[in-house]
Amino acid sequence: MALPVSLKALAAAALLAAAGCASVLAPALKPNVSTEATALRAGAYALDKDHAALLFEIDHLGFSTFTGRFERFDVSLDFDADNPQAARIEAVIDMTSLDIANDEFAATLMGPDWFDAVAFPEATFRSTAIALTSDNTGEMTGDLTLHGVTAPATFAVTFNGGGRDRLRGAYIVGFSARATIDRTAFGVSRFSGLITDAVEITIEAEFIKK
């Protein structure tokens, strides 16, 4: 049913008013994100799963870069600002949450020839060492368990900043992390030599201070 002209006008005015309020409030709500060392506040943090992504990329026959993501994973972070090298990071990835925008092929990749997600439904990462490379970057080494095999993996980590987020009502820190692993080291070796063995992993994550 069509709205009367007066109701249409009222609705339009309400939308304009809401947009105006948002534009006025935006500067006040935007967090003051700092990459200074003091922004790395000590304590335990939980992953904000609404603002996190875990992606992987692999060269496919030289034609393209095949990209996928895992929809369900969790990461815990605990560190002392005075001793960031001693930070502890633990991650758990649900291997059945693979998303490549193709359900049939995703089922193939989760099958026994690839990830074998029925036998190995989780992958884990536990940090063992962190070395700072600049004021806001570092290298994080840890034990990655994938496909039932545990091997070392090193991530290049960038601290994107920390600050109080009024929208979430909490203190937030954000990181980007990247690593390259050899899939054959974890027993995922189908078509090795045809499809490249190097897999690029990218993590974008925001953490909420507990």
In this structure, what token pair is assigned to residue 204?
């974008």
The contacts of residue 141 (CB under 8 Å, 6+ apart) are 127, 128, 129, 130, 131, 152, 153, 154, 155
Residue 18 dihedral angles phi and psi, to the nearest 5°: -65, -40
Closest CA to 158 of 209, 112, 204: 204
What is the spatial distance between Cα 19 and Cα 23, in angstroms, rounded to a whole number?
6
What does the alpha-carbon distance between residue 103 and residue 113 come to, in Å, rounded to a whole number?
Answer: 16
pLDDT at 81: 73
Regarding predicted confidence, which is higher, 6 or 176? 176
pLDDT digits (tens, 9 = 90+) for 14-37: 555 555 555 666 777 888 999 998
> What per-residue confidence (pLDDT) applies to 106?
97
Check: CB of residue 201 under 8 Å from CB of residue 181.
yes
CA dihedral 185, 190, 193, 196 (to 10 degrees): -70
- Reported as a single tens digit per residue, the pLDDT across 185-200 is 999 999 999 999 999 9
* pLDDT tens per residue, range 39-69: 989 999 999 999 999 999 999 999 999 999 9
Tokens of 43: 């304590």
Strands (E), 118-148: 122-132, 137-146
Task: Give dist(CA 114, CA 144) in Å, integer.
Answer: 17
pTM of the model: 0.85
For the chain, the average pLDDT equals 90
- The CATH H-level (homologous superfamily) assignment of domain 31-209 is Lipid/polyisoprenoid-binding, YceI-like (2.40.128.110)
Summarised one tens digit per residue, pLDDT across range 130-187 is: 999 998 999 999 999 999 999 999 999 999 999 999 999 999 999 999 999 999 999 9
Tokens of 104: 């049939």
Q: What is the structure's pLDDT at 186?
A: 98
Residues shown for the chain: 210
